[in-house]
Amino acid sequence: MKATAWPRQSPDRIGGPHAGPPLFLAPLAVFFLFTNSLTAEPQRPAGYVGSDTCQVCHDDIFKAFQKNPHHVVETNGKGGWQGMACESCHGPGAKHAESASPADIINPAKLPPARTDQACLRCHLNQPTNAGRIMGGHARNQVSCTACHSMHKGPQALRPTKFQVINEMCSRCHTSVWAQFQKPYKHRLPEGAMSCADCHNPHGTMFPRSLRAVEANGPGCFRCHGDKRGPFTYEHPPVKTEGCSSCHEPHGSANPRMLTRHEVRFVCLECHANLGFDKNLGTVPPAFHDLRSTRFQNCTVCHIKIHGSYVSATLER
């Protein structure tokens, strides 16, 4: 019987001069490859250098930014800007890092307001608080986001929550409105009991003067003055059709209860008078109402439920 001849193994298979590493070293090689991938420099798009490069010159801003809520852009990879938070607003920084010239970097604070808003709305467009930003009064009057929000400082500078800080910020532009709060009858903004943002949404709303709404479409006044809300069986139409400002000066007045006129009867007679040009404006007082007598010069002595009543069509109870 002829013996079977087994083929000779090549030098590569038995550890010859051209053989690879021994098999027992394979797990060690995999370990080193994994650790190197963790410590390797992340791959960035062309022109981007990362926030660490920005820190070399802007160390004070970099450290202050650590306390800013926007710092989550630096650490969270969800938006694709991990390690590049500075360049998410300022654009690619490679050219600026080489030249150190302000002309080679985007500064949102020096851009036209519309372009600044576009930069901010790349992230903030779909947030409920900014639903009216595009059509709001601040946007129409070319007031950019950076006019009120500071990106490089702490949370209070980015989004103030203290009433006095908010009021001071608004009063820098709305000087005539702030002057109204110095009148004797007013909402207590100067005392720090509330802020402008309690009634107005600075980012804009679907209502005039950026007023906040309650229960979808009710005036923001009802958030505090809920007893005037209704619905009532007998409504006082101006409350629903014209709003509180038809009788009251919300920012401040020289008249008690912030009324638009110094006597209650004159407020009522703006509608309830025999004017002759609009018969639907308001009913005329009956004949026995002799307005020359002090007995009939204060309408709310009898018509006490002036905002609406459940039982009286004449709003007397």
Type of residue numbered 218: G
The sign of the CA dihedral 70, 71, 77, 82 is positive
Q: Residue 6 — pLDDT band, cuts 50, 70, 90?
A: very low
Alpha carbon 262 to chain centroid, angstroms: 37
What's the pLDDT at 217? 76
- 20 pLDDT above the threshold of 70: no
Domain final residue pick, 89, 106, 123 = 106
Type of residue numbered 47: G
Nearest of 89, 109, 111, 196 to residue 149 by alpha carbon: 109
- Residue 273 in domain: yes
Domain final residue pick, 106, 121, 147 = 106
Give φ, ψ of 221 to 5 degrees.
-60, -30
Structure tokens belonging to residue 19: 């053989």
Total structural domains within the chain: 2
- Residue 295 in domain: yes
Residues 96-125: tens digit of each pLDDT: 999 999 999 999 988 998 899 888 888 887
Q: Residue 131 — pLDDT band, cuts 50, 70, 90?
A: low
Residue 63 CA to residue 65 CA, distance in Å, equals 5
Nearest of 204, 184, 59 to residue 130 by alpha carbon: 204
Residue 296 CA to residue 289 CA, distance in Å, equals 6
Nearest of 57, 35, 54 to residue 44 by alpha carbon: 54
For residue 8, what are the β-bridge partners?
Answer: none
For residue 185, what are the β-bridge partners?
Answer: 253
pTM metric for this prediction = 0.74
- Residue 112 in domain: no
What's the pLDDT at 123? 84
Type of residue numbered 249: E
Residue 136 CA to residue 152 CA, distance in Å, equals 25
For residue 309, what are the β-bridge partners?
Answer: 234
- 132 pLDDT above the threshold of 50: yes
- Residue 71 in domain: yes
Buried b (16+ CB within 10 A) or exposed e, 308-317: bbeeeeebee
- 178 pLDDT above the threshold of 90: yes
Domain final residue pick, 83, 106, 129 = 106
Q: What is the DSSP letter of 122?
A: H
Q: Residue 230 — pLDDT band, cuts 50, 70, 90?
A: confident
- 310 pLDDT above the threshold of 70: yes
- Residue 200 in domain: no
- Which range among 93-102, 124-133, 223-232 shows the weakest confidence by mean pLDDT? 124-133
Residue 55 CA to residue 188 CA, distance in Å, equals 44
- 180 pLDDT above the threshold of 90: yes
What's the pLDDT at 11? 42
What's the pLDDT at 38? 44
- Residue 13 in domain: no
- 13 pLDDT above the threshold of 70: no
Residue carrying the six token digits 């372009």 = 115
Rounded to an integer, the average pLDDT of 38-57 is 78
Collapse the DSSP code of 313 into the 3-class scheme (helix H, G, I; strand E, B; otherwise coil) and give the result. Answer: coil
Domain that holds residue 235: 230-247+262-309
- 91 pLDDT above the threshold of 80: yes
Residues 250-303: tens digit of each pLDDT: 999 999 999 999 988 899 888 887 665 555 566 777 778 888 888 888 889 899
Q: Residue 231 — pLDDT band, cuts 50, 70, 90?
A: confident
Give φ, ψ of 222 to 5 degrees.
-70, -10
Q: What is the DSSP letter of 254?
A: S
Type of residue numbered 190: P
- Residue 205 in domain: no
Q: Residue 26 — pLDDT band, cuts 50, 70, 90?
A: low
For the stretch 246-250, contacts whose Cβ atoms lie closer than 8 Å and that sit 24 or more positions apart, written own/partner, are 249/180, 250/187, 250/199, 250/221
- Residue 220 in domain: no
